Chain A
C-alpha cells in the first residue's frame, strides 16, 4: 500500500467503513510512515472533536421527566386492565341496567351549544423538518431527472443527467 492509496482511503478508515483486511493494511502503512500517521491522527482528532461536541449536546438534554411519564403510562394501562377484569365479572343484567341508565341520562341532558370561544379547535400541527422542501413545479430539458429525499432532516436532492442517460447512482 502506498501513501497515495492511504490518502484515498483516509476518510473511510477514520469512519471504520473499510473491510477488515484493508483497515489493517492502512493501519500497518500509517504505523511505518510518519506523514500518513500525521494525516490519520489529524483526521481522527477532528472526527473525535465533532463526536465529543455532539455527545456534549446530548448530555445537556434533560431526560428526568421521561421515566415518571413512562411509569404513569404503565399505571394508567394497568388500572384500565383492572377495570376490564372487574367488568367481566359483572352479570349481564347489571350491564343492561347500566346501559339503560346511561341512555336515560343522555336523553335528559340539554343539547350542547357552543360558547363564545373559537369556532374550531386548532388543527394538529405536522412536524416541520429543518430542510423540508415542497416542489410546486418542475420542468427539465433533460429526459432524465430524479427527486430524492432524506427522511431525517427532509433534505431534497434534484438529480439531473446532462447526457440524457440513466443517472449512474
Chain B
C-alpha cells in the first residue's frame, strides 16, 4: 500500500470502530436466570431476598438457580438464550417507552411456542416466566427470570 492510501485506511478503521462502539451503546443488557422451583429442599443463598415473593407467585418453597446468562442485546435484534431442559427464550428489544423496555419475548419448546408476548418492562425491572412441568414426569416448575436494563 502506498503512503497516500494509509491515512484513508486508518480513517476507515476508526470510523468502523466508532460505529461499532455506538451500536454497542445502543443496546439493552438482558439477564436470564433460570430457577428450579420445588416443594421441598434448600434454596440458593442468592435467592433468599427473592424467596418470599417467589413463594407467593409460584407456590413452591425451594428455589435453586440452574442457569444464568447475561448478554448485551442490540435494539431490534433477536437474541436466543438457551434454557436448561432444551428450551429457547427469544428476546428482541424494540424500543424504550416511558422508562420501560419494550420487547418481544418468546419461549419455545422445540416446535411449540409456549409463550409469545410483547411486553413493556420497567427499565431494570424483572419479570418471570414459569413452566409447569408434566406432573407425571417430574415435580416442580421451571422459573425464568428476565431482567432488562438499558
Contact = CB atoms under 8 A, between A and B. Distances in A.
Interface in B61-115: 61-62, 99-100, 102, 107, 109, 112-115
Nearest to B107: A160
Interface residues of B, number: 47
B42 A168 contact: no
- Of the candidates A133, A140, A150, A152, the one having the most CB atoms from chain B within 10 angstroms of its own CB is A133
B132 A160 contact: yes
Contacts of A162: 109, 114, 131-134
Contact of A133 (B49, B113, B127): B127
A10 B42 contact: yes
A46 B42 CA distance: 14
Interface stretch (B2-10, B11-19, B50-58): B50-58
B128 interface: yes
Interface residues of A, number: 43
A130 B130 contact: no
Given A140-B113, A155-B57, A169-B59, A135 B119 contact: yes
Contacts of A134: 100, 119-120
B30 interface: no
A141 interface: yes
Contacts of A10: 42
27 contacts: A7-B42, A46-B48, A50-B48, A129-B122, A131-B122, A131-B127, A132-B121, A133-B120, A133-B121, A136-B117, A136-B119, A137-B117, A140-B114, A141-B114, A150-B56, A155-B126, A155-B127, A156-B128, A157-B58, A158-B127, A160-B131, A161-B132, A162-B132, A165-B134, A167-B132, A168-B132, A169-B132
Interface of A: 7-12, 46-47, 50, 128-142, 145, 148, 150, 152-163, 165, 167-169
